[in-house]
Structure 1
């Protein structure tokens, strides 16, 4: 029998069933299609293969039309689901290339409760949501695109714009702290905050040319006009920098010996959830501001500084000089309280008694900043004052020309990591206070510019608060308004799920090792990797004992922050077992050092994230800065976290843990 080619097979489908195949001895020698070669009645046609196919197809079509009329399927929803998946938002749960078996949801309170904040949002029961996380896949592609008309309407509800000289030479966590403070200032002054349209990535997880294919590669020190001296301090190269949009031209190499200061310019929208932020506060980007004023958005200064004269067009701006923000003889607060001003240098008899006692205890007739608990101890044995009645004590201090201020405890005795999870009170002479609202709210210029930087060595918000309610409002900005990008949260949640699977559904512990330039500058806790990692594993042992005590007492609680409910996994999940791996986030890139960490049980991000995860998230995971954001999400969900009190990564992680309702005793920075 001769072999049949594809053409003969195609023709065979048109032959009647009773007709011999072309390869048979009685093969027909006429036209290839016998139906066309001789007339047949319709009854005879039904007996052919073609006829039966036609009849069956017609019956099927009629049945489908009937079903469509009954059920009316939602094709639009199906197309949208396919669109969301194709645009990188990820497949539905269980279809991400890994088994969907051991995912442990995070309880966030009693049934029927409504946890506050986006970190606790949702129940995990909606379509496309990962169970227990409250996050719907693809939600970010549904974000509202603001038109220029809508932005104009948003700005109309405010007095104008609040603008900054943005320190784009810093890493993202420090930039986020500056943005959080600026959101507070803009809200306080009823102004629209103007953010830079881009930031600079500082690290590439692959070779530089790979990252350069996705974002403009630049010398970021030259772009921002900053240099770093031997002590690690960032400095401006020239006083003329404020007036020159081509900031940084001809700068020397930075002075700390590191030659690689390559950066990549990335739109700021990839670093946080801008649509979510805009839902709570008026915010525009510099490029949008320029467009609204009929200026070329590409004229935005690459240094991050405000363009002064370059951004002017039929509008005016007022500049608050940097040296006037908080000189050494004042304390910057949000606003002054009228009821306390009357006691400045006009003390009551009780106030004079308080002043005399505190001056004696402090050994100085001119009081400065004092800690609340120290003041209580100093006044404890004065009969007329009950220091345990804190409200009454605050009123008594007012009569002594002293104000109670509300702020946050720093880490390691300094204010570097800007976490807002440990609220404290301090006491200072009322005459030292200067209210930001009181000083500049009377400015009616369209643009209010705060010159230079007011970030380093200052409290979160770059000021203190005169009421506890104002401090709580700032905590809400940090914990609930300023959120990671939805895709950062998405991939972080996936990694947390993978980790939970690897430890059999038990808790996983997480630590952060700040290495990189900290080692070279002498800022790391240890120079060598072995003793440095041992600090983390030793902390895990202490953390295990802490969690055992919490479980035994059943007394778990949230951090003193607004809008959260307790995450009960500290009570319900088992502690890690001997030999369980732990998650380690680090900027260490030495091959031998990383191999040592793995030999001690550490799982690094490349060990956890899958090819499917990378495809789902996209090009952003090329950049170390965004990988770090994902790692913060992972660490915020760990049973116990240990970090370094001089690293801004730790501060952001503590804030996220608080927003998730984690017991503050399960997160330690040293």
Structure 2
């Protein structure tokens, strides 16, 4: 018998039969070959009969690796499997009937769970054509396709390309043995594979998916990547990363954007996390941010950064800082599960500095995807994420049924409501927006929101779960809402892409384009309140700054309490882009007076909710003794003086040597100090945000989260910004 080639086989089976070849094929007894035969169905197994006696020995081997070679041998004649393809062919002539067998395994399901295909062409029985189908799957039943045909080949029969004559029973037995050994080998490997997967589940608590492949660990699954005793990030080794991702990992990555600041990048990260959750993949998040503001000598900033680039047509001067200095990565993994940064992904695949996976603009490089067999499939923004054409969903909406309610808007039909949505609000709108547009167009809408929802359902509108349209620019989960959508234009990420083999089976799913910027937070609307709320809770709990910013921010917030003599205090954000001024102090004066008006309303809101230790009624009207925290990216000295004269307190007024020592080198970068301002604003008793600033979105998320737990009424947006 020929020896198996390649690596050591994971399965080997031999069989020896001596005696007359019976009408029924040999069958397994107690899981083994060569035992007592079970009586088969003569119709199911057509006679290959003869009373002649023959002795045959055969074996099958199968290697543990996908790209190995395996051998089937019968009396010295081999049929081989190499490069993931079986090729077995046996033909014979018995009284004009034809026998052939072909077994195909070209999709490598022994590792990835994709179905194999076997085609068996047994001997014809009395002119009857029988076709039965079963399919081999990791999570489901076997399937074998059997066909029968009648031919009149030339005299003789062929085994392995060699023509023989006579000894028909031996050929019959050989055919049966080849087929049964092939099927048995695959079944044993399937059982071994499934047993190993089940045992692996007990250890890692991973739920496997035959459709999507091995998923990333579930939310909250403990990740064993290191952090120091204080919980600070430590870059993991390649070995550690390999242990965490396991075999056959599947990733999801999106384009970053090096022209953006951290708060834009934060939205990208949240979208990656959500789409990776939906697709059961390991998210790969941007690995760095470019700092724009150096508060000390440039050489000092350069020494404390990964890279420095001069100002050019591509963008302003910048210093490259790892994402672990802006997001608490160990905490993110503790809450979410396994997450890789781009730099860790490069370490995992042993990427040298000269190999560029991401361009200077932060875009994934499709030319650099051939890493240790890594296969990439791309979903483009034009293909999927287009607000004018699609309602982007996480999963399919529930089946539509016409409501039994008697709510109806006279004269409104499906075509008209779709036309209104496209002309005025896209294909998704809130009930308030729908009421406004319908009334403006002349339709009578006199019921409450429940009545209106039932009436819209009758024109094939469906409920989707998302976030308030007014916060689209700042990207916050602080205001979850119910919207109505044109279900005819709703397409789910799961159904449209994850069922396509090229996307489903790829090692890395690459979602390209500015998806995070054009649509809803998380990249999709949600088909159920449960999945929307899971996303909200993940954002509120998992994403926070590293420990140094939290500690420094807490101390600055305590200083604000002292500045206000123990009273409740307020915070506001103004950006230089949103401000009405250019360079003159008079415009700055107008802007700060607008803020004071909003702060006065904030104090009234605090009073209405019976907050303790409020200033007197006179202070609510005059504000002459109220000092409020102002976060701004303004650098013009004259403008800052104008703000301070109107009782604004800036971060630089509150930072002491203690906070600076906690921050260390981070205090060199104005961009990193914004994280301290974020913590201070989140701590305030009342907050006034800027409707065009994504830092405001981060502040609102922090206020609603478990660290601060501020009430929903305790903030507002400056709509005039």
TM-score class, shorter:
0.5 to 0.7
Preserved contact between residue 217 and residue 262 of structure 1 (Cα < 8 Å): no
SS at match of 1:326: coil
Separation (CA, whole Å) in 1 of partners of 2:526 and 2:291: 33
Tell me how far apart the structure 1 counterparts of residues 421 and 658 of structure 2 sit (CA, whole Å). 64
Note the 1:505-516 alignment, pairs <5 A: 505-515=566-576
Contact 1:584 1:602 in 2 (8 A): yes
Change over 3 Å in CA distance of 1:362–1:400 after alignment to 2:
closer
1:231-262 superposed Cα distances (whole Å, 9 cap, x missing partner): xxxxxxxxxxxxxxxxxxxxx476xxxxxx11
TM-score by length of 1: 0.63
Partner residue in 2 for 1:473: 534
Match of 1:450 in 2: 511
CA distance in 2, matches of 1:351, 1:460: 35
Deviation of residue 189 (structure 1)?
A: 0.5
Q: Quote the residue 2:668 is aligned against.
A: 622
Distance 2:511 2:465 in 1: 23
Say whether the 8 Å CA contact 2:556–2:680 is kept in structure 1. yes
CA contact (8 A) 1:351 1:398 kept: no
1:487 aligns with 2:544: no
CA distance in structure 1 between the partners assigned to 2:410 and 2:383 by the alignment: 29
Match of 1:423 in 2: 480
Deviation at 1:607, TM superposition (A): 0.9
Does the aligned pair in 1 maintain the 2:403–2:457 contact within 8 Å? Answer: no
Q: State the partner residue of 1:459.
A: 520
Distance 2:452 2:594 in 1: 42
Preserved CA contact (<8 Å) 1:513 1:585 = yes
CA distance in 2: counterparts of 1:509 and 1:437, whole angstroms? 44
Partners of 1:579 and 1:600 lie apart in 2 by 10
Moved more, 199-208 or 468-477: 199-208
Which residue in the other structure is 2:355 paired with?
A: 299
Q: What does residue 572 of structure 1 align with?
A: 612
CA offsets per residue over residues 366-406 of structure 1, 9 Å max, x none?
87433224557969xxxxx997694x986775564321111
Separation of aligned partners in 2, 1:399 and 1:158: 47
Post-superposition shift, 1:535?
1.4
Q: How many residues align structurally? A: 466
Deviation at 1:418, TM superposition (A): 0.6
Is 1:287 aligned to residue 343 of structure 2? yes
Q: What's the CA shift for 1:446?
A: 0.3
Match of 2:304 among 188, 194, 214: 214
CA contact (8 A) 1:165 1:305 kept: yes
Choose from 327, 337, 348 the match for 1:272.
Answer: 327
Give the superposition deviation at 1:317: 0.6
1:90 alignment counterpart = none
For the Cα contact (< 8 Å) 1:644–1:650, is it kept in 2? Answer: yes
Deviation per CA, 1:19-69, whole angstroms, max 9, x where unpaired? xxxxxxxxxxxxxxxxxxxxxxxxxxxxxxxxxxxxxxxxxxxxxxxxxxx
Counterpart selection for 2:684 from 618, 626, 638: 638
Whichever structure has more helix as a proportion of its residues is 1
* Structure 2 residue aligned with 1:237: none
Deviation at 1:348, TM superposition (A): 7.8
Distance 1:486-1:290 versus aligned 2 partners, 3 A rule = same
Residue 506 to residue 286, structure 1, CA distance change in 2 (3 Å)? same
Q: Is the CA contact (8 Å cut-off) linking 2:271 and 2:523 kept in structure 1? A: yes
Q: What's the secondary structure of 1:322's corresponding residue?
A: coil
Aligned equivalent of 1:405: 464
- Structure 1 residues 205 and 582, CA, compared in 2 at 3 Å: closer, same or farther? same
Cα distance change, pair 616–366 in 1 and its aligned pair in 2 (3 A): closer
Query: CA 1:349 to 1:481, structure 2 compared with 1: closer, same or farther past 3 Å?
Result: closer
The alpha-carbon deviation at position 604 of structure 1 amounts to 1.0
- Residues 169, 220 of structure 1: 8 Å contact kept: no
Cα pair distance change 1:527/1:657, threshold 3 Å: farther
Q: TM-score, normalised on structure 2?
A: 0.59
Larger radius of gyration: 2
**Distance apart, 1:294 and its partner CA:** 3.0
Q: Quick check: 2:407–2:452 contact (8 Å CA) kept in 1? A: no
Q: Secondary structure at the match of 1:418?
A: coil
Q: How much is the aligned-residue C-alpha RMSD, in angstroms? A: 3.5
Name the structure 2 match of 1:330.
390
Alpha-carbon offset, residue 581 of structure 1: 2.1
1:337-361 deviation line (CA, Å, top 9, x unaligned): 3533xx6xxx689799669535698
Note the C-alpha offset of 1:506. 1.4
1:164–1:449 Cα contact (<8 Å) kept: yes
Alpha-carbon offset, residue 597 of structure 1: 1.6
Matched residues in 2 for 1:198 and 1:635: separation? 25
Q: Quick check: which one's strand share is greater?
A: 2
Q: CA contact under 8 A between 2:233 and 2:329: conserved in structure 1?
A: no
Runs of at least 5 residues in structure 1 that lack an aligned partner in the other structure = 1-116, 119-137, 223-251, 255-260, 380-384, 552-570
Secondary structure of the residue aligned to 1:199 is: strand
Contact 1:288–1:297, Cα closer than 8 Å, also in 2: no
In structure 2, relative to structure 1, the CA distance for the partners of 1:665 and 1:219 (3 Å cut) is: same
Displacement of 1:221 in angstroms is: 7.0
Would the alpha carbon gap of residues 214 and 521 (structure 1) be closer, same or farther in structure 2, given more than 3 Å must change?
A: farther
Contact 1:408 1:424 in 2 (8 A): yes
Task: Work out the CA distance in 1 between the residues paired with 2:643 and 2:560.
Answer: 17
Per the TM alignment, residue 159 of structure 1 is displaced from its structure 2 partner at its CA by 5.5
